[in-house]
């Protein structure tokens, strides 16, 4: 590897080599589009950790989809051969098992090599409550400018004729053990373009929390990263 090489170009050149895993016809038909799309994905990912996660995703996807394309190809060849023999059936099974074995080995290695610094999104209020145990935090107050910046970066979507904000959709349905449709009030205390912080209070005794919510790249979607109980309910019992 030459020093000073753009890592983006290096990943793409590795990806072009990986395309040889696909059947030739598929490569001829879609190879260029696959590379263009992978390039777009890499360009849209700004952090090193993000590119690492993306590359893992693309690698796994390539192994699975290449195995599938070979299987479909082989199936078509056998279908065209009216004298499908037991030997052909056996070869097909061997090919599929080989592909699955390679995929299983690679996935295992990638899972073992997962960087400790990656933070999974928060998905459960019970987890938040457990993490809050023993803490003592003041609830964050609203900052109008931060709130305006969040709304300006946010993207909306329309479903069944009603327009929602992605930020609101995440707040109302992004936490698994809060029933959908539970009312909430929230403040936005700060926003740096990637992380927004504030306080969220759910109705129905689900509590009040200082939250951190992360904006995902691309379409303005969000994931809760953390919640810590604040104010009067600094630690509350788990939801039954």
Partner 1 sequence: MSSMKRNLELLPQVSFSILMALSLRPRHGYEIMKQAEEDSLGKVKLAPGTLYGTIKLLLKDGLIEEIMPRSSQQSGRRRYYRLTKDGWDRLNAELEFYDNIVRISKKRSAFERS
| Alpha carbon distance 106, 216 (integer Å) | 26
Among the listed residues 123, 137, 201, 221, the single contact to partner 1 using CB under 8 A: 221
Q: Does 133 bind partner 1 (CB under 8 A)?
A: no
Q: Does 202 bind partner 1 (CB under 8 A)?
A: no
Question: C-beta of 50: minimal distance to partner 1 in Å?
Answer: 12
Out of 30, 71, 184, 235, point to the residue binding partner 1 (CB under 8 A): 30
Nearest distance in Å: CB 145, partner 1:
26
Span near partner 1 by CB under 8 A; candidates 55-63, 185-193, 195-203, 205-213 = 55-63
Buried b (16+ CB within 10 A) or exposed e, 86-122: eeeeeebeeeeeebeeebeebeeeeeeeeeeeeeeeb
d(CA 108, CA 111): 5
CB of 86 to partner 1, least distance (A): 27
- Is 20 a binding residue for partner 1 by CB under 8 A? The answer is no
Q: Check binding of 204 to partner 1 (CB under 8 A).
A: no
CB closer to partner 1, 55 vs 132: 55
- Tell me if 65 contacts partner 1 by CB under 8 A: yes
Angle between helices 24-43 and 48-80 (to 10 degrees): 160
Strand ranges of the sheet holding 207-215, from the earlier edge strand across to the other edge: 184-191, 195-202, 207-215, 222-229
Site pattern 146..175 for partner 1 (x: CB under 8 A): ---------x-x--x-----x--xx--x--
Task: Mark the segment that binds partner 1 (CB under 8 A) among 36-44, 76-84, 88-96, 104-112.
Answer: 36-44
Cβ contact 69:20 at 8 Å: no
CA-CA distances (angstroms) from residue 179 to 126, 171, 174, 205, 236? 13, 11, 10, 12, 18
Of 59-67, 95-103, 145-153, 196-204, the window that binds partner 1 (rule: CB under 8 A) is 59-67
Task: Locate 59 and state its tokens.
Answer: 């690698």
Please, which residue, 138 or 218, has the CB nearer to partner 1? 218
* Binding segment (CB under 8 A) for partner 1, from list 24-32, 128-136, 142-150, 202-210: 24-32
Please list, in sequence order, all residues whose beta carbon lies within 8 angstroms of the beta carbon of residue 45, skipping any fewer than 6 positions away.
51, 54, 217
Across-strand partners of 209?
200, 229
Quote the tokens at residue 175: 């936490």
Judged by the rule CB under 8 A, the positions of this chain that interact with partner 1 are 22, 26, 29-30, 32-34, 36-38, 40-41, 57-58, 60-62, 64-66, 68-69, 155, 157, 160, 166, 169-170, 173, 216, 218-221, 223
């Amino acid at each position: 590897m030459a020093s000073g090489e753009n890592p983006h170009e290096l990943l793409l050149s590795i990806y072009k080599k990986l395309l040889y895993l696909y059947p030739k016809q598929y490569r001829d038909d879609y190879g260029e589009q696959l590379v263009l799309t992978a390039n777009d994905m890499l360009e849209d990912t700004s952090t090193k950790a993000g590119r690492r996660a993306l590359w893992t995703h693309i690698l796994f996807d390539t192994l699975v989809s290449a195995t599938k394309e070979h299987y479909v190809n082989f199936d078509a060849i056998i279908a065209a051969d009216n004298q499908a023999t037991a030997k052909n059936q056996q070869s097909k099974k061997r090919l599929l098992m080989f592909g699955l074995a390679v995929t299983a080995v690679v996935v295992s290695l990638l899972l073992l090599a997962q960087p400790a610094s990656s933070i999974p999104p928060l998905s459960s209020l019970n987890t938040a409550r457990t993490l809050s145990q023993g803490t003592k935090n003041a609830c964050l107050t609203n900052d109008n400018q931060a709130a305006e910046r969040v709304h300006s970066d946010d993207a909306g979507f329309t479903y069944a004729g009603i327009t929602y904000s992605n930020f609101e959709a995440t707040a109302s349905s992004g936490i698994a053990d809060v029933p959908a449709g539970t009312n909430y009030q929230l403040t936005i205390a700060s926003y740096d373009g990637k992380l927004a912080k504030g306080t969220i209070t759910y109705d129905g005794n689900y509590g009040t929390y200082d939250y951190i919510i992360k904006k995902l790249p691309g379409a303005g979607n969000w994931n809760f990263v953390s919640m810590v109980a604040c104010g009067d309910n600094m630690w509350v019992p788990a939801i039954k």
